[in-house]
Amino acid sequence: DAGVTQSPTHLIKTRGQQVTLRCSPKSGHDTVSWYQQALGQGPQFIFQYYEEEERQRGNFPDRFSGHQFPNYSSELNVNALLLGDSALYLCASSLGGVNGEQYFGPGTRLTVT
Amino acid sequence: DAKTTQPNSMESNEEEPVHLPCNHSTISGTDYIHWYRQLPSQGPEYVIHGLTSNVNNRMASLAIAEDRKSSTLILHRATLRDAAVYYCILRDPWSAGAGSYQLTFGKGTKLSVIP
């Protein structure tokens, strides 16, 4: 049983460019959350998708957007990249219940130059 | 979500028990206490969670103070693989509505295990 998978593993982009990160949830999970983790900090919640809709959003600008597909996989898009967007982007999946544990993927390391 | 306070770092000898403290003095009656850990170069992984009673699973034990203002994650025999950042997180599932929730991470406690 595959856990949460993310692609790509690493990515280097230039300021102003756009990036798309991908996530496949753990088998049987229907909810996907995205987190940003800066170096030396804990992960910060970006948003959560359930039934192909954004259900909750953290304190991130509209440059961050996402999508969930009918097979529950998800994409995170970031437009107009800034140097400060350099971070580890984590995807977590869970069942839509109120207190289910979240399973995290290994993350995508984004570097903006 | 209510805030938690954890020590920045702790050290333990291999095969010794480890007690990782967490203070949450403003915890509400419906906040669950969750623990996650993040090994180097990996995403966080769930360890344990509880509401009022002490909890045990194959990974660890969670001891919750009677007034719920603090809790302790107990690793019974630390191994080198337990070296990680441990996060104590409070979450009130009912505040977010059924079917959705987020985790609010702090900086956690970096646990070093000495061989």
State the best of A104, A108, A109 to mutate against chain B, taking most chain B CBs within 10 Å.
A104
**pLDDT of B30:** 86
**pLDDT of B91:** 85
Round to whole Å and give the CA distance between A23 and B59.
Answer: 27
Q: What is the CA radius of gyration of chain A?
A: 13
**pLDDT surpassing 70 at residue A82:** yes
Round to whole Å and give the CA distance between A14 and A51.
Answer: 33
pLDDT per position as a tens digit, A38-62:
999 999 999 999 889 998 888 999 9
Task: List, as one string, the DSSP characters of A7-47.
Answer: E-SEEEE-TT--EEEEEEPPTT--EEEEEEE-TTS--EEEE
Share of chain A above pLDDT 90, in %: 84
**pLDDT of B103:** 86
**Position B56, amino acid:** N
Q: What is the CA radius of gyration of chain B?
A: 14
Share of chain B above pLDDT 90, in %: 79
**pLDDT of B2:** 59
A43 Cβ partners below 8 Å, 6+ apart?
A35, A36, A37, A90, B44, B103, B105
Of B46, B99, B103, the CB nearest to A98: B99
Residue A59 three-state SS = coil
**pLDDT of B95:** 67
Between A101 and B8, name the one with better pLDDT: B8
**pLDDT of B93:** 72
**pLDDT of A95:** 84
Query: What tokens were used for B73?
Result: 């994650």
Residues in chain B: 115
CB contact under 8 A, B91 and A42: no
pLDDT (average), residues B77-98: 85
Query: What tokens were used for A51?
Result: 């039934």
**pLDDT of B76:** 95
A97 pLDDT band, cuts 50/70/90, is low
Across chain B, mean pLDDT equals 91
Of B43, B94, B100, the CB nearest to A55: B100
pLDDT per position as a tens digit, B7-62:
999 999 999 999 999 999 999 888 899 999 999 989 999 999 999 999 999 999 99
A84 — phi, psi (to 5°)? -70, -10
**pLDDT surpassing 50 at residue B98:** no
- Closest approach of chain A CAs to the CA of B102, in angstroms? 7
- Closest approach of chain B CAs to the CA of A59, in angstroms? 12
**pLDDT surpassing 80 at residue B96:** no
**pLDDT surpassing 50 at residue B100:** no
**pLDDT of A88:** 98
